[in-house]
Structure 1
């Protein structure tokens, strides 16, 4: 099975076939309202969030850290320490879909592999909550952790932030916000999994990895930004909405986890080059034969497990310094 000119990893190809079979049991998402779309996504993703490591302790909390209500789930693995270093993780879904439930296993895998806590964040979704509502609340959470992290068993001096796709976008935007207010030391690392950093998707990317049958094409990707932004023509030049346009100087170390066969691969490669040019300690790993969302195939695919191990290694290393 191929995506564009590149052959997919056989286990990732199996993951995609099984995902498509599950999606086929539901109405097309575009025929549904947003609450119904999210319910379908939860049902389709439920299988992939099952199993995996058990945590020593899990904390659920719904509270207002300063800019509106958030639901967080804190995963504390055996041996993480008290207080534990922590990765604040922001799920993907085009600013519109998914939750800490769809990403539950992924976050537990990171916690177990890295020996650190993971704080999953159910940030407010678009289009009901337009930019910068989610960003405001995530920034407020990070500032709250600076003085209240011990309430969650977490060490405020050892915090990383990360996420996949739109979550990677929000991770960069949050780090940029904190840097600009003189709080750059609050974030020790950024983990970026197949990040979505710009409204621009090239014709070449669409030809190779978009189109019918792809995991995500250009029209779908742009629709997510249309959900997120109030005025896409104006806000597409805002560096906190499109971090590929930002001044990236003085950001903490970054790991970019990059699928080879993804509509957004080009964005991560450009981000890597821009980070290095800005003097940021950036590491980029391209995983052959993988697509967007490949880390969720951890129960099937060795390459997904390797991607998680690499992210856990990076975060643990940064938080141990």
Structure 2
């Protein structure tokens, strides 16, 4: 379905600047005849094209390096040159475990690097359904361990490495922290979680915000869970659905939650469960924002404010980790 500005205007709960972003993306995908009928490789290629304008521009880095980290393509964004090791954020892109890349999320990562003054590292983990759980999680755990163990080689302070991600990336960030904790290793210094996919169970926000006007549909999300988990029985695994996990001992967490998102309720529940487990947690609910709204930063003051809030929290949390 291709939405027009007029059609979306009926959804007056969406911030007008975010609405421009949603309409533009829907129009972009509409340029491909019967997008849903394309093969998965074709859909991935189309998504890279459609999202290209939204990753352009933004902060200029002192240095950007694309390399390999634990067997995955990785990109290191350094916002300033420094002779001393810097705090860092390992960022995991979203896309329902099946789509997107460090290219689609390049501006998002540079925004965090510039605003928080930290090195941001993104990785291209293996996508589903070609591989399924736990392959992507295994790769991200290995990437975090390599980043920590060889931190000096990357100009990074090993005690001040955060992990974060959006949507499926938020899921993988929490699962990585759980895996490290359960292995007796110190988890990352912080978790930065943007509209994460934390549990497949439907909630009230599923019914309220379903449809292309809000970026992410229930049918899409259900398909993403199936592609990632494979066997439906796997969906109850707490490393697949981390809202069901014991969250004790996880790092301080910041959750950016768009109000107009089918995942909003699960994010509120994750914040509550983290708090009940004794984890310092901050939740920011952004009225009028939809899923993926941070990618609209070039046109959205709301997205820019959300970046600023998260960056202030991240910089302060990582400074404490260095102390």
Given the two structures, how large is their TM-score scaled by the length of structure 2?
A: 0.93
Listed one character per residue, the Cα deviations across residues 143-188 of structure 1 (whole Å, up to 9, x for unaligned) are 112221222221211100000000000000000001111112x411
Whether 1:245 and 2:240 are equivalent positions in the alignment is no
Which residue is equivalent to 2:158? 156
Trace 1:1-321 onto structure 2 (pairs within 5 A): 1=9, 3=11, 7-63=13-69, 65=70, 69-78=71-80, 82-184=84-186, 186-202=187-203, 204-211=204-211, 213-232=213-232, 234-321=233-320
* Partners of 1:82 and 1:153 within 8 A in 2: yes
Q: RMSD over aligned Cα, in angstroms?
A: 1.4
Q: Does the residue aligned with 2:260 lie in a helix, a strand or coil? A: coil
SS in 2 for 1:78: coil
> 1:310 aligns to what SS in structure 2?
helix
1:181-203 per-residue CA deviation (whole Å, 9 max, x = no partner) reads: 1112x41100000000111122x
Instruction: Quote the Cα distance in structure 2 between the aligned partners of 1:117 and 1:183.
Output: 22
Q: In the superposition, relative to structure 1, how do residues 161 and 201 fare at CA in structure 2: closer, same or farther (>3 Å)?
A: same
Describe the SS at the equivalent of 1:290.
strand
Gaps of 5+ in 2: 1-8
Residue pair 2:252, 2:279 contacting (<8 A) in 1 also: yes
Unpaired stretches in structure 1, ≥5 consecutive residues = none
Q: Deviations over 1:92-127 (max 9, x none)?
A: 000000000000001001000010000011111000
Provide the rounded CA distance (Å) in 2 between the counterparts of 1:143 and 1:237. Answer: 26
For 1:31 and 1:309, the matched residues in 2 are separated by: 39
C-alpha separation between the residues in 1 aligned to 2:106 and 2:18?
20
Partner of 2:4: none
Match of 2:5 in 1: none
TM-score, normalised to structure 1, is 0.94
CA 1:245/1:160 → structure 2, altered by over 3 Å: closer, same or farther? same
- How many residues were matched structurally? 312
